[in-house]
Structure 1
Amino acid sequence: MTDQPDGPRLNVRGLARQQIIIEAATGLFLERGFDAVSLDEILRATGGSKTNIYKQFGGKEGLFSEIVRRLAADFLSPLVALDLGQVSRQTGLAILGRTLMRQLMQPRHIAFQRMVLAVSDKFPDLMAEWYRVGPQRSQSVIAAFLGDGPNAAQLAVFFHDMIVTDPVNHALMGAAPDWPEIETRIDAAAALLAQAQA
């Protein structure tokens, strides 16, 4: 992927214009995917010129990369913002699990994941970045809650995968979320990990 260039700093108007471009391109990419959207279509929706997009993002690939980074961070922001205080390990894991799954099962997130997976063979560096700011970031939040134990990181990955993999895979195939089943899965995984760390 093309990295966003280190161009001149944008003024308030330039930042507003950049945000308009990002929002319009996000909608188009989520709806139709990277390959089916051209810069001309984005510019028809936003105005402006290709020169500005190349200057700010390095082109279509750089714009897409910026959108992937922003969306991944946005989806996880409620998880990152949680303050679990002095709750028990099992309760905290259940809260983390429910917060994470509410974000991941949103139709917008499922569209985002489809969009990213569709270009995985074309942009392996972007996939690595998505994994770092997406799944790996959520796993690190769970690991931080579990504490400094020797197995915290590994247990966080187990918990994440136990609650995420099947529901998200089914959603990617078009199935509606089965929230009672998702919550049962979260509670069982939280109880299992709490016992493992007892």
Structure 2
Amino acid sequence: MTREYPLTTRGVARLQTLTDTAANLFLDQGYEAVSLDTLIARAGGSRRNIYQHFGGKEGLFVGVVTRLCEEQGWPLRNLDIGDGDIGPAMTAFGEKLLDIILQPRTLALHRLMVAEGQRFPALSQAILRSGHEAGVEILAEWLRLRRDKLRADLSPEVLAEQFVTLLVTGPQLRALVGHESLPLSPSEIARLVRETVSTFLHGALRGGKTPDA
């Protein structure tokens, strides 16, 4: 984003209104369906201001999605798994992760990633990094400190990827296509996480059988 002069307090507020409105429209309708005329009618401002600050619709979209990625990544980066035993700690982590992933805004951003991936590949990769990959990295780092309790033939990175995929994929896909009634109840989230942790630990802990055993 480039500006020719510093924004006044009123200008900052107007720009915030513009980007907030743009974020909601892009998440609801996608890139192609949102026109600058529609955006201006809802948020105010002018085409001149949009081109001055963002260079046009594409630049506005890039700026808005970049901000949405930062917002999505914030709660994930601040997840605290804790220092307890693997089972209870991963259960707590899984419940927090699933709650974040199934938030309406997170799901909308995922839909945007799929819909606009070919047009904006760098942005789609940024969405992936701020969501799925952020969760995997947090768990992998936690598992590295407990390497002695895990199977030696599987790296913490692989284990973290497998756990997040195992937990998230089903509920997320069902929510994305409207087959999941949201928000999930705490008891349903607890059930999904409990079953996933149980399945995962039977394969991840030392003593678990390898496929060719």
- Provide the TM-score with structure 1 as the length reference: 0.83
What CA distance in whole angstroms lies between the structure 2 residues aligned with 1:69 and 1:92? 31
Q: Is the 8 A contact 1:163 1:182 kept in 2?
A: no
Cα pair distance change 1:98/1:52, threshold 3 Å = same
Q: How does 1:1-198 map to 2 (within 5 A)?
A: 4-5=1-2, 10-148=7-145, 149=147, 151-177=155-181, 182-194=189-201, 196-197=204-205
Q: What stretches of structure 2 of length at least 5 have no aligned partner?
A: 148-153, 207-213
The alignment's C-alpha RMSD in Å is: 2.5
Q: Secondary structure at the match of 2:33?
A: coil
Q: How high is the sequence identity, in percent, across the aligned residues?
A: 33
Question: Based on CA coordinates, which of the two structures has the bigger radius of gyration?
Answer: 2
Q: Is the 8 A contact 2:80 2:93 kept in 1?
A: no
| Deviates further, 87-96 or 177-186 | 177-186
Q: Is the 8 A contact 1:25 1:42 kept in 2?
A: yes
| Deviates further, 89-98 or 162-171 | 89-98
How many residue pairs get matched?
195
Cα pair distance change 1:99/1:7, threshold 3 Å = farther
Q: What stretches of structure 1 of length at least 5 have no aligned partner?
A: none
Deviations 1:81-138 (A, max 9, x none): 2333322222222122111111221223222222231111222122122222222122
Cα pair distance change 1:9/1:133, threshold 3 Å = farther
* Aligned-partner residue type, residue 112 of structure 1: L
- Residue 185 of structure 1 and its aligned partner are, at CA, apart by 3.5
* Aligned-partner residue type, residue 19 of structure 1: Q
- Residue 193 of structure 1 and its aligned partner are, at CA, apart by 4.5
What CA distance in whole angstroms lies between the structure 1 residues aligned with 2:97 and 2:82? 18
Q: Is the 8 A contact 1:5 1:57 kept in 2?
A: yes
* Aligned-partner residue type, residue 39 of structure 1: L
Shift >6 Å, 4+ stretches: none
What CA distance in whole angstroms lies between the structure 1 residues aligned with 2:85 and 2:68? 31
What CA distance in whole angstroms lies between the structure 2 residues aligned with 1:186 and 1:6? 47
Q: Is the 8 A contact 1:76 1:100 kept in 2?
A: no
